[in-house]
Structure 1
Amino acid sequence: MKQFKQVLRFEFSNYAKSKPYIIITAILVLVIAVLLTYPRISALFKSGDGGVPQAGDERPIMALADMAYGSDEMLKKMTEAFPGNKVVTTGESIDQLKSKVVSGDYASAVVIEAPLKFTYITEAISIYANPTAPIMMILKEQYQLTKITELGLDAEEASDVIHPAVGMTVTETGKSQTQSFIYTYILIYALYMAIMLYGQFVASSVATEKSTRAMELLITSANPMSLMFGKIIGTGLAGLMQFGIIFGSAFLFYNLNVDLWAGNAVIQMIFNIPLDLLLYVLLFFIIGFFLYSFVYGALGSLASRTEDVGAAIMPVTFLAMFAFFAVFYGMNSGKLDSPLMVACSYIPFTSPMAMFTRIAMSNVAPYEIIISIAVAIASTVGIGMLSAAIYRIGILMYGKPPKLGVLIKTLRKQKANA
């Protein structure tokens, strides 16, 4: 136990005090802080004393030559449709407007030649925007409004006919997949990235120690089980602390600026995760993280050089990718109770992602959750012990990584001699 604590303390300190760890954590916290306080920062730059717009804060000018309706209502609708432009009325001709767009006096111009005909003038239309679509809609609505008014209805009654109010009530008897999709995806992706990054980090660390022959000294003075579990758990705690700092800072800066995000449904949805789901994600995160880390550590011990680590860990990397994409497919299709998702909920390598997704986005019976968690925990302990046995063999083997058959025979021989 003393050896285990010493290894754990050393590995945790080694990772937590390393420059890359500190720099990456600081950068991510800074990015999150800037993103979640952006509305406040943006308001400071956009406004001066009393919120009065400063000189130079002029919006691009859109000229409106209305030859069909000539009403203030058209100017109002165009202003609402193009809030990023300053819409001004003009009586200039198309040729004059073209010249002013070319010279830069106007960013764009709209000439309404007839109730259902217009010309849009601009230097270039972006592939990411279609400015003519809202103009077409405005002209259609104005034309309908004019014709209905001519039939005897006043403007308000005509508007009610064109834009009738439709009442709607939606009742969901199960969990809302719309509300839970975003935060479920974020949490699943965080687990996937933690597995990939820290798993490869563990494997590379073991291979590096092995290549320096330092492991030969360690293995003679410490229990392989203590070395393996100390290294994995120490690294895991450092990783969990890093994710805790990142997610904790996100919640902190959100709560400091919660009033600025009141109108953003997506942000509100992300940061209003139910407490029970937070507990589930913490549990599955820990299980999945350590399960994969044990396997990565064992496979890393089979590589004699750091260059061989990629090939050694490739099978488990593909397994993690399969788990992520299978769950992502289930989320996108909405078929969270399909045979694939149900099966993945009980397979140790896929259950941390699959079962959590089903809990968050569908209705899962309590006994299914209990079985899935029990199988995952038992498998993690069993795989941890098996990985420690492989670790003891692998760190003393050099050259080409052993084939599976040779590895099994060596494990059996080791067990018989124990």
Structure 2
Amino acid sequence: MIKKKGIMWLLFLSLAVSIVLTGCSSETSTNKDKDNGDKLKEKQFELTYWSSPDGLDEYEQSIVDEYNEKYPEHPIKLVTQPEGEGGELMAAMMSGTAPDVLILSYGEIEKFAYAGALRPMDEFFDGWDDYKNINHDMVEKFNFNGNRYSLPAGEYAMGFFYNKKNFEEAGITPQTEWSWDDLIATSEKLVDKETGQYGFALNWGQWADWWFGMFVWGAGGDLTKAGPNGELIPTFTDPAVIEAAQLYRDLKASGSIQTDMSHKLDELQQDFASGKASIIYHGIDDIKKFVQLGMNPNDFGVLPIPIGPAGVNPTQVGGSAYVIHAKVPEEKIDALTKYYELASSKEFYEGKIQYYQDQGFSLTNTLPRTDIDTDKFFGDTADDILAAIQGSTSNGKLSCYGSSVVASFVDQAVQKMFVETDQSIEEIFEDAQKEALKQAIPDYNKSIEN
């Protein structure tokens, strides 16, 4: 009996210990699961991406969806860009409320980099094997003080378009290299007073700084420059500016440009599409506009940029690029750059080209990658157009530093010197520079300093 009770007690004790141990084990397991869950939760986050109220286009959305499928622990969340937020982007970036996925226009990157609002991307580039296939010339446009700040998302270039039919009827063979003097002489030959046809559609009155700057570069100068700390310094009285302005007056005096000086850009575009204007300086990325306006695609051609007095002929380029703003949390950087890698892949751009072709037109932007088979995707693109697109990579320049700040002052100066031909060009641009220094540049430089 005693033995039986002892055995029963031992069994009870063993069971009790077992229950206690099992309970402890269960509790420990539960705690571990909880800890793991907490850690997993800590790793999960969203990457915000501003979009228009209509969202992204079909192709861009498909890339976001692909990313979200691959990385569900930190998906991209589209957020409608707040109304009026464009002008307050700097404040949003510095306060940490800007989107994680951020694409800036070329005109914004330089200012934000100098202001310390952007994180250098050198570490990302140096550790990314596919970076070797990215167009480094495009990246280097935004290399400041030894740091690279942007990953190109798309670039367009300006070019000189000409009407092949008008040239042929005037007995003009398009030149592979020409000067400012050649531009005037060629434009004069294309004038037909009976039909109203003229040579060069010169956009001098609307967004004049954008067109005028290219001629200033050809003369060896610029309208502004950046100081050592990013301060905006106007150079409106640079001799190159005066030479470019004199070219405008010479073109007007030659009688080879539009006779209706009130024409804005859309009217000049229509003149070119109809064959009334024979040459126009325009964005190569928007070739389809002229076809949509009724131009015969077979009449369309691209000339090189005329070589200026300085012996150079850079063209204006613009575009957009991915950046990392300075307030993106460190733990999000890896996830963010994974999206940038996906949205910059060879597969992405080949798919984008095909998507546009399926829509009925070619993608005529300069591609951010160097390993795209142009023969495969652009076999039907005219050689002169393709050459202009490819040549813009090494021959392209950004609009002058701080262009958005000084644009209105440059516009006014170009318009005034073009209309009031009796007044000194030097005086007009000197007055414009004084006004810019008084009205706008101090606020810009203060924003950089702060």
* TM-score of the pair, normalised by structure 2: 0.22
Higher RCO, 1 vs 2 (CA within 8 Å, ≥6 residues apart): 2
Q: Which structure has greater strand proportion? A: 2
Q: Which structure has greater helix proportion? A: 1
* TM-score of the pair, normalised by structure 1: 0.23
